[in-house]
Amino acid sequence: MENQVFVMDHPLIQHKLTHLRKKETGAKEFRELVSEIATLMCYEATRDLPLEETEIETPMGKAVTKVIAGRKLAFVPILRAGLGMVEGVLTLIPAAKVGHIGLYRDHQTLQPVEYYHKLPQDIESREVIVLDPMLATGGSAVDAIDIIKRSHPKAIKFMCIIAAPEGIAALTKAHPDVQVYCAAVDERLNEIGYIVPGLGDAGDRIFGTL
Ligand code: PRP
Ligand code: URA
């Protein structure tokens, strides 16, 4: 299947993203914005969930209406920064399960190092949405999806807030079956692998570890 990259240009997402990028935005507001953007992105990323008809009774009589057809979801944040998106997506889909993948980038090599993973046991019957605010070189996303694929979920989507062109290229090459959702594709990576203009280090800004 061909990769599909969706850039979500909804005005509410773009407005919140501007505040998220500002260097004077403190940790509390940063966390709130990440969560709100995740909710709005999740609304768009689940647009293709299948519906089925059901018969109900309103105070006025019988009606045939629609509900989501049994497809089950799991969210998998990449630690640490992906954690900031979990509450926002669970606002929309509280019944989803949540797995975790722990990866950090080695600052010298920029290669991801895995330190933890725990996925839902029934992941084979679920569609997975991977969460991480930043797609920079793409190394973390590619490795996280490699790990998830070993458990054979039904399908995988990747949701980030800011992507670098380099990260999109790496992810779509390694996993052409994964749909990528982002709020912005920025100019480039700098010499130490940070997205420019980006927003800095997402994990540090969420958890105040700057
Ligand atoms: C950041 C970010 C991604 C990764 C992206 O995490 O949250 O996981 O970098 O970079 P890549 O596309 O080049 O792999 P980081 O490694 O800083 O860990 P942290 O979330 O624990 O701070
Ligand atoms: N990780 C971040 O948090 N920010 C970047 O710009 C790149 C990787």
Indicate which atom in ligand 1 lies nearest the CA of residue 81.
20
DSSP state of 126: E
Give one DSSP letter per residue of 53-110, joined into a string: EEEEEETTEEEEEEEE-S-EEEEEEEETGGGGGHHHHHHH-TT-EE-EEEEEE-TTT-
69 C-beta neighbours (distance < 10 Å), count: 11
Closest by CA position to 195, among listed 149, 143, 136, 138: 136
Looking at residue 97, its pLDDT comes to 97
Q: Which helix (H) or strand (E) holds 156?
A: strand 155-159
Cβ of residue 134 lying under 6 Å from some atom of ligand 2: yes
For residue 21, the ligand closest to its alpha carbon is 2
- The rounded mean pLDDT for the chain is 95
Q: Is 48 a catalytic residue?
A: no
Cβ of residue 170 lying under 6 Å from some atom of ligand 1: no
Q: Out of 109, 146, 150, 188, which one is annotated catalytic? A: 109
Q: In what order do the strands lie in the sheet with 184-185?
A: 134-135, 162-163, 184-185
Q: Is 201 a catalytic residue?
A: yes
Residue carrying the six token digits 């519906």: 51
Q: Tell me the backbone φ, ψ of residue 153, rounded to 5 degrees.
A: -70, 170
Cβ of residue 110 lying under 6 Å from some atom of ligand 1: yes
Cβ of residue 83 lying under 6 Å from some atom of ligand 1: no
Q: Which helix (H) or strand (E) holds 34?
A: helix 27-45
Confidence of residue 2 (pLDDT cuts 50, 70, 90): low
Mean pLDDT of 84-95: 96
| Nearest-CA residue for atom 18 of ligand 1 | 104
| Nearest-CA residue for atom 1 of ligand 1 | 134
Angle, vertex CA 161, rays to CA 155 and CA 166, nearest 5: 80
The SS3 assignment for 141 reads helix
CA 33, CA 113: separation in Å to the nearest integer?
28
Does residue 1 have a pLDDT over 60? no
Cβ of residue 138 lying under 6 Å from some atom of ligand 2: no
The SS3 assignment for 12 reads helix
For residue 112, the ligand closest to its alpha carbon is 1
Does residue 99 have a pLDDT over 60? yes
Looking at residue 130, its pLDDT comes to 98
Confidence of residue 3 (pLDDT cuts 50, 70, 90): low
Q: Please say whether the beta carbons of 141 and 114 come within 8 A.
A: no
Residue carrying the six token digits 């509450």: 87
Q: Is 109 a catalytic residue?
A: yes
Q: Please say whether the beta carbons of 18 and 9 come within 8 A.
A: no
170: which residues sit within 8 A by CB, 6+ positions away? Answer: 137, 138, 139, 141, 142
Ligand 2 midpoint to CA 3 (Å): 23
Cβ of residue 84 lying under 6 Å from some atom of ligand 1: no
Q: Which of 32-41, 43-52, 173-182, 197-206 has the lowest mean pLDDT?
A: 43-52
High-pLDDT (> 90) share of the chain, %: 92
Rounded to two decimals, the pTM is: 0.95
Looking at residue 69, its pLDDT comes to 87
Q: Is 71 a catalytic residue?
A: no
Write out pLDDT tens, residues 136-181: 999 999 999 999 999 999 999 999 999 999 999 999 999 999 999 9
Confidence of residue 45 (pLDDT cuts 50, 70, 90): very high
Q: At what angle do helices 11-21 and 27-45 cross, to 10 degrees?
A: 150
Does residue 193 have a pLDDT over 90? yes
102: which residues sit within 8 A by CB, 6+ positions away? Answer: 78, 79, 114, 115, 116, 117
Ligand 1 midpoint to CA 77 (Å): 11
